[in-house]
Structure 1
Amino acid sequence: MRNDVSFQDLERELERGVLPAWVFSDGRVYEWERERIFKRVWHFLAHESEIPEAGDYVVRYIVDTPVIVVRTEQGVRAHVNMCRHRGAPVCRGERGRSRVFRCPYHGWTYSNSGELVGIPFREQIYADPGRIERELSLPLVRVQSYRGLIFGTLSERAPSLEEYLGESTWYLDLFGCRGLDLEVFGDPERWTLSANWKTAAENFGVDNLHILSTHGSLIVELEQFPFRQEYLLGPTNFVAYFPGRGHAIAVNRPFPGMKFVGVPEPLIAKMEAEAPEQAPYLDGLSTVVGTIWPNLSLLTVVQPLGPYPVGQGETPRYWTIRVWQPMGPTQMQVWSWCLVPRGMSEEQKRKSFQAYRLSFGVSGTFEQDDAEVWKGITELAASLGGREVRLNYEIDGAEGPWSGQQLNGAPGVIRPYVTEAGARNFWRTWLSYLRGGEG
């Protein structure tokens, strides 16, 4: 654990396009991240389709804090899963339906909206049980939603979710949150990686160059031509990032003349009707991938279950969102959801889920490729000979406006598809939070 971290030195190095490898492994840095980042930002917790009825709940995490996300008669609420008597968890299940949560230690009982409603022998053991019940509700977590995505924060001072997301919502809509009426298919998958959470978050937000090397054998084997060089560097592909926020999203459109390949035509028509300003970007659309800072990533991509070429209505597409949950400086837990449009047939949903599992599920081919690299980065970043090595982030070093295709209405700073501008923005935001700012 380092005792000589200088934020000014880090800032100067980042301006030169380099960072020390120990940012991926240092224990003191991780403790700063817990207090200065994760205690203050908005975290993705659940999708509204996971808790459709009053009383439905799931237990999720903000770093190491278990949070009950529940739909009450008054709407979605969230509470720290911690009894106010001795601090034991009041909910032992991961999901279910309940009107109350009862602590297994001394029997304190809370309504699903968080109020303390029952204490054994309350009149006999407390002088003023009414005051105890009024004052000792479950710790509240602020929650707000965007088109079905439920976020929570531990900070009362955090900006609204709308302000926090900013114009990145345009890309959440293009991803499918607007018009497709996405819902979770199956339970979220979870697995543990011996890797720092930032290796994954910066990869999705957005490292498009790694596709040709890390996944090269799969691309050749599966004949996945949209990921070859000419399609990565094409003029219709671009990256957008948001200075001061850390969010970055990439859009890949290698199929001119075909709209949002893999989406049934009636659903495409619905998207165009609800968001006509985005209709031009559906043409040729293969991939939307990115990171909502700090650790929520999203991906939708057309994924044949066999070789290309593709057909408009016959090729599966999947949607996944995932949280890179820190479990220490050198370990994370991956939470991964598969989403599907409600308007798809059951057969189309099944094929979409199958394509997701084959690529980015817990044993997915692309997932395994990435995990092995991220593990190696983390190990070397902690090693005696590797921790002081400076890592290079200079691809597309010029930060001026992109001179490529004119992008009418697409927000953010627009760059070519192969760039490290999004990664540099990720790290600038990270450094700003560590120094006490917000982006």
Structure 2
Amino acid sequence: MTHREHKSVVIVGGGQAGLSVSYYLSREGLDHVILERHQKFHSWRVNRWDTFCLVTPNWQCRLPDFPYQGTDPEGFMVKDEITDYLDAFAETFNPPIVENCEVTKITKRAGGGYLVDSSQGNYSTDQVVIATGGYDNPIVPPYAKNLDPSIVQMHSVDYRRPEQMPEGGTLVVGTGQSGVQLMEDMHLKGRNVHLAVGPAPRSPRMYRGRDATDWLYEMGHYHMTIDKHPNPEHAVSKTNHYMTGRDGGHEIDLRKFANEGVSLYGSVSGMEGTKVQFLPDLETNLDDADDSYVGIRKVIDDYIAKHNIDAPIEPAFEKLWQPEQEITEIDCEKEGITSILWAIGFRPNYGWIEVDVFDDLGRPVYQRGVCKEEGFYFIGLGWLNTWGSGRFLGIDEDSRYLVDAIANKAKANLRAVS
């Protein structure tokens, strides 16, 4: 019979979400353990490029009882500052974490609770919190294998600096937050950069005297819960608006980069040999991103007008560049492109969870992180409850809510056996 150590709660994942839950469990006096596949805060510490920085201002860093305490609340912490902040939070309590411990299976236990198997021992537990996030498997489309092997392919998770890429041009695929920032990272180093533009929206950075996120926070946008959202399916599935916190923060207008020599194409649709095919959607994607940008400006304008706020006037938006034609195929050899940098996201891996907490598409089903299977929870995912869920801004509220549910169930369990 397999020996199992018993813990009231097992948390899988040692990032900011898992440790935030641990913080409140510790305050409740509930015994628990955190099982982390690598080191705590691994994604921040390892899976980021050298010039990585926050996209949201530092004041939004609000871990439990540990808000940002630096001297630049409107600035954007760089990679090492972020990990220092996280490490300092962990030092405020003694999280019971087991590092380099991969969870291999979770099943239901006869009579209630769960069995957790891991590379460093097995556990029985009354309750489980999944805090692994959604960044397990880097996405690379199947047709990538058709590309000539002389062209180097890399995913954004492995990118650190422009010097990693071979001499010659690089085609960056994807215009979410990572894609546009990596494009800029290489462009600023004088590299020959090509960009496949997807349907991601963009946002202003500073607008009418303040960071756009400051306005949106004040307007209550970040307090809207998913159950009150007019289009929850769209909210959960859509890509984040792109901008950057680099060098004090600025917006990213891809038309500006086109004027500076970055070659823009539509969405990649296929690859064969040295050739890459694109959909004829570049102009549509640029226009849609600008519509999002202008829409955010308008809601801020309306708020300012409604409340008679004294704020500086901004010039009207103008398109800086228009594509002369839609290019639907290029030959990398002729264009001097020697590498592809994939920045089209990740997929979660829940294959090790053998509990009925998923829908037909393999997505976890919950209400504010609480599953129908008693004592099973998720945290750290986008729109778990609000826009800030999965981000520094909302993790305190989410973790407090889950721990309240965990503590209430633990008390009910005690009453049931007494």
What is the TM-score with the length of structure 2 in the denominator? 0.26
